[in-house]
């Protein structure tokens, strides 16, 4: 069974269960106990940091229960807190794994770009009161696309050996007072999207030239990229399991 959930990450220390912190996985499994009568093991499509949100996060699990998918959704939502919701449920093959069957993800970073703060987007978007040239940033972020070594866009402390990833597309759009950076790829390193966002903000400030991303990539030097943008503007937006979804 594959379930898609959405959640507001403000009250959680990421997805994966931790000993001394409340996580999305822990709360989700609590609901499973009430619906299925057992604390079923689950496989998440990704790890998310404390404060990061998800518009789509996928979880696979095995169960012998005969509860049909259409009944699982309301049953789970009745037993989940308001900041977590099951949005889809479907049957999958037994060998399906939410993480290892995934062929790509799309992340969204939301920026409130106006002088005044917005209390309704507090904790859900980065407030950036200085002007942002979306055309400039759109031009710059195109250089993320392709197969590259993203060492310069990975936080220190990551244990990943292969730092090469393929970015299918990257784009910046303005929607009213909000500027949205969307990036889709076959995988992402630790804090990669947040560092990408921080780099784009440095380009906007003029601290990094608009054509500077290829040189930063080639350098493989974390110090050449921008700062890590705060977690609360980041959303896991979509999870892809077939090539047709990537188009």
> pLDDT tens digits, residue range 175-216?
999 999 999 999 999 999 999 999 999 999 999 999 999 999
118 is catalytic: no
What is the structure's pLDDT at 188?
96
**Per-residue pLDDT, 47:** 85
What is the arithmetic mean of pLDDT over 35-48? Answer: 92
Q: What percent of the chain has pLDDT over 90?
A: 89
Query: Residue 246: pLDDT band by 50, 70, 90 thresholds?
Result: low
Contacts by residues 224-228 (CB-CB < 8 Å, ≥ 24 positions apart): 224/152, 225/152, 225/153, 225/195, 225/198, 225/199, 226/195, 226/197, 226/198, 226/199, 226/200, 226/201, 226/202, 227/195, 227/198, 227/201, 227/202, 228/155, 228/191, 228/194, 228/195, 228/198
Tens digit of each residue's pLDDT (9 = 90 or more) over 101-156 = 999 999 999 999 999 999 999 999 999 999 999 999 999 999 999 999 999 999 98
Residue 242: the pLDDT is 83
- What is the reported pLDDT for 218? 97
- pLDDT, tens digit, for every residue of 157-170? 777 889 999 999 99
- Predicted pLDDT at 157: 73
Query: pTM above 0.85?
Result: yes
Determine the pLDDT at residue 244: 63
Marked catalytic residue, from 49, 83, 133, 149? 49
Per-residue confidence band for 83, with pLDDT thresholds at 50, 70 and 90: very high
Q: What is the pLDDT confidence band of residue 243, given thresholds at 50, 70 and 90?
A: low
């Amino acid at each position: 069974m594959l379930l898609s959930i959405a959640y507001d990450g403000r009250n959680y220390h990421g997805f994966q269960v931790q000993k001394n912190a409340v996580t999305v996985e822990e709360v989700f499994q609590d609901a499973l106990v009430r619906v299925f009568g057992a604390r079923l093991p689950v496989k998440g499509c990704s790890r998310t940091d404390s404060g990061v949100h998800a518009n789509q996060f996928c979880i696979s699990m095995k169960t012998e229960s005969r509860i049909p998918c259409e009944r699982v959704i309301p049953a789970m939502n009745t037993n989940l807190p308001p900041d977590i919701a099951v949005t889809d449920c479907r049957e999958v093959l037994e060998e399906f794994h939410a993480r290892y069957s995934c062929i790509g993800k799309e992340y969204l970073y939301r920026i409130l770009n106006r002088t005044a703060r917005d209390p309704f987007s507090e904790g859900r978007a980065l407030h950036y009161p200085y002007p942002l040239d979306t055309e400039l940033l759109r031009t710059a972020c195109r250089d993320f696309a392709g197969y590259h070594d993203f060492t310069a866009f990975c936080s220190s402390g990551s244990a990943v050996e292969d730092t090469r990833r393929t970015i299918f597309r990257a784009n910046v759009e303005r929607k009213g007072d909000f500027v949205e950076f969307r990036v889709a790829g076959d995988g992402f390193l630790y804090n990669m999207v947040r560092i990408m966002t921080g780099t784009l903000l440095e380009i906007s400030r003029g601290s990094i030239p608009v054509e500077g991303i290829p040189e930063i990539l080639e350098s493989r030097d974390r110090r050449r990229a921008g700062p890590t943008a705060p977690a609360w503007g980041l959303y896991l937006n979509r999870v892809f399991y077939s090539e047709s979804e990537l188009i």
